[in-house]
């Protein structure tokens, strides 16, 4: 699909109900599957990643039904998003109903879903994982999690040196139990000493989260030791919050480089209520910030563990006025954002708000001066390389800058990353005068890149034609409709 996004002819306005949190939904559904009894997930995110998780969990023995507001059962798929009110989950528990799927499991293009389920699937005697997105998820490294699972006695067969899909695990509860017993003898550990698994945090926090979900299922006291510089710490906090709410106690060091999960713990069934999605809302707020004089209210934005709420102080530093509103029991708290006549460049630690960085880069393209995004190395290992690939697209836009006589900075100097071989900082010099646009850009198969380019299009006189725009459904299927709701013209070509 090609989405032609045009600049609005007047400031944006409206009241927006954002999508529900993808990261909370996937964790709520997973712990519900790991619990005994019936759990309910109210207002779940309905997008590609969550759909993939539900399908994989069903194949592993969970019963999951999507219900409408009237209580009717409906298929859990993106096309039904507006009608789905809740998910009712009967889990497979710690192991009694966990079954080996007859066919290979396919998580689609969902990296977090795959990695968290990969750890849980180590309890199966044999399971194979595949993907139909070998150009994206198939390129993402998993070797750090594989090394951790091998420490538990799991045999893992994979492609390449980085632990790529397809992948087969040979594990099972008895195999893991026997391996730990052998290692206890070798290490002269007492029965009440915790067994330690070491995992690197250099590439992704998802590996640590995956082990935290697995740990209570092992009938062992497990210590998870995280080495290196742990990425995306807020997502570890999200995992810890969900585990605690489900009845599992995790003792963690203040630096979150060590986690202790005691033996004999069980996940309990919970009735979950899903907050609004901060990553998607960062893009909504970013679209408003990019259009001078706009004023929009976004509901259901709680001060929870989602790190992407760091976009709020960033947009404030750029000159936006953002007011917190209390809301009510149905809508929850809200934010009202008002954009200034001219944005100022700002800086942010991207590791604290990983999934908001590209939206903020889109706003930076319209700002006066330099914006810096630091500690963003892990962006290289997402659906696409979110450092190099979006900058390639933004440079195309930069070449259409208005008032070319004012182009005092070459394109490569206005948009660059460092160090060159392993980027950890992105520099963006904006152009408040805007761009001509009228060019084709590529969404790179990445939902965050598509939202980034949509924001930039709002400051292009002739807009932008975004190819591969259908991939926005991975996290925000209603993105283009939300833009329309605020007053943006979007034409879709299939």
Per-residue pLDDT reduced to its tens digit, 292-337: 999 999 999 999 999 999 999 999 999 999 999 987 767 789 999 9
Q: Considering only CA atoms, which of 214, 178, 172 is closest in space to residue 197?
A: 214
pLDDT of residue 405: 56
Q: Containing H/E element for 358?
A: helix 357-364
Is the pLDDT confidence value at 272 over 80? Answer: yes
Is the pLDDT confidence value at 404 over 60? Answer: yes
Q: Considering only CA atoms, which of 74, 57, 56, 77 is closest in space to residue 66?
A: 74
Q: Considering only CA atoms, which of 110, 122, 128 is closest in space to residue 51?
A: 110
Q: Mean pLDDT across the stretch 70-84?
A: 97
Instruction: Indicate which residues carry an active-site annotation.
Output: 355
pLDDT of residue 96: 63
Pick the CATH number of 22-267 from 3.40.50.10470, 3.65.10.10, 3.90.650.10, 3.10.20.600: 3.65.10.10
Per-residue pLDDT reduced to its tens digit, 19-32: 999 999 999 999 99
For residues 367 and 343, the answer to whether their CB atoms sit within 8 Å is yes
Is the pLDDT confidence value at 158 over 80? Answer: yes
Distance CA 54, CA 77 (A): 10
Q: What are phi and psi of 27, to 5 degrees?
A: -70, -40
User: What are the beta bridge partners of residue 133?
Assistant: none
For residues 147 and 124, the answer to whether their CB atoms sit within 8 Å is no
User: Is the peptide bond preceding residue 166 cis, with omega within 30 degrees of 0?
Assistant: yes
pLDDT of residue 93: 82
pLDDT of residue 409: 79
Whose tokens are 């980034």? That residue is 452
Domain ranges of the chain: 2-20+275-493, 22-267
Distance CA 277, CA 298 (A): 11
> Do β-strands 321-325 and 347-349 pair in parallel, antiparallel, or remain unpaired?
unpaired
Name the pTM for this structure.
0.94
For residues 322 and 335, the answer to whether their CB atoms sit within 8 Å is yes
Chain center to CA of 387? 16
pLDDT band at 406 (very low <50, low <70, confident <90, very high): low
Per-residue pLDDT reduced to its tens digit, 142-156: 999 999 999 999 999
pLDDT band at 166 (very low <50, low <70, confident <90, very high): very high
pLDDT of residue 97: 75
Q: Please tell me if the domain spanning 2-20+275-493 has the same topology as the one spanning 22-267.
A: yes
Distance CA 164, CA 420 (A): 24
Per-residue pLDDT reduced to its tens digit, 393-402: 999 999 999 9
2-20+275-493: CATH class: alpha beta
Q: What is the mean pLDDT of the chain?
A: 95
Distance CA 40, CA 66 (A): 10
């Amino acid at each position: 699909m090609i989405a032609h996004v045009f600049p609005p002819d007047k400031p944006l306005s409206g009241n927006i109900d954002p999508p529900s949190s993808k990261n909370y939904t996937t964790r709520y559904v997973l712990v519900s599957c790991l619990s005994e009894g019936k759990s309910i997930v109210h207002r779940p995110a309905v997008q590609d990643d969550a759909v993939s998780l539900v399908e994989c969990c069903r194949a592993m023995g969970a019963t999951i039904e999507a219900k409408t507001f009237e209580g009717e059962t409906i298929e859990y798929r993106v096309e039904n998003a507006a009608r789905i009110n809740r998910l009712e989950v009967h889990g497979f528990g710690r192991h009694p109903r966990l079954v080996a799927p007859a066919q290979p499991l396919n998580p689609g293009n969902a990296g977090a879903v795959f990695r968290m389920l990969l750890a849980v699937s180590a309890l199966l005697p044999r399971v194979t994982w595949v993907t139909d997105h070998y150009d994206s998820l198939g390129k993402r490294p998993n070797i750090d999690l594989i090394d951790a699972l091998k420490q538990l006695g799991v045999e893992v067969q994979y492609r390449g040196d980085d632990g790529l899909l397809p992948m087969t695990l040979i594990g099972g509860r008895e195999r893991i139990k026997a391996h730990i017993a052998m290692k206890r003898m070798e290490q002269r550990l007492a029965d009440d000493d915790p067994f330690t698994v070491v995992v690197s945090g250099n590439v992704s926090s998802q590996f640590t989260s995956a082990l935290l979900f697995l740990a209570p299922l092992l009938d062992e006291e497990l210590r998870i030791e995280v080495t290196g510089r742990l990425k995306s710490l807020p997502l570890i906090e999200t995992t810890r919050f969900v585990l605690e709410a489900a009845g599992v106690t995790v003792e963690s060091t203040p630096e979150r480089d060590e986690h202790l999960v005691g033996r004999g713990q069980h996940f309990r069934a919970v009735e979950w209520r899903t907050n609004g999605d901060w990553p998607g809302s960062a893009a909504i707020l970013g679209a408003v910030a990019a259009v001078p004089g706009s004023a929009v209210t976004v509901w259901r934005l709680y001060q929870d563990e989602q790190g992407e709420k760091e976009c709020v102080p960033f947009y404030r530093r750029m000159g936006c006025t953002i007011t917190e509103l209390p809301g009510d029991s149905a809508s929850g708290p809200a934010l009202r954002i008002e954009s200034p006549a001219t944005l100022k460049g700002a800086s942010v630690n991207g590791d604290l708000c990983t999934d908001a960085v590209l939206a903020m880069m889109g706003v930076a393209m319209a700002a006066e001066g330099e914006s810096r995004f630091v500690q963003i190395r892990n962006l290289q290992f997402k659906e696409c390389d979110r450092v190099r690939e979006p900058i390639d697209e933004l440079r195309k836009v930069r070449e259409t800058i208005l008032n070319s006589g004012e182009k005092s900075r070459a394109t490569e100097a206005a948009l660059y990353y460092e160090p060159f071989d392993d980027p950890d900082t992105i520099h963006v010099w904006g152009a408040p005068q805007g761009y001509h646009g009228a060019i084709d850009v590529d969404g790179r198969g990445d939902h965050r890149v598509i939202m980034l380019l949509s924001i930039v299009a709002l400051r292009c006189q002739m807009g932008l034609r975004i190819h591969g725009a259908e991939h926005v459904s991975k996290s925000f299927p209603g993105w283009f409709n939300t833009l329309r709701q605020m007053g943006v013209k979007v034409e879709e070509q299939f």
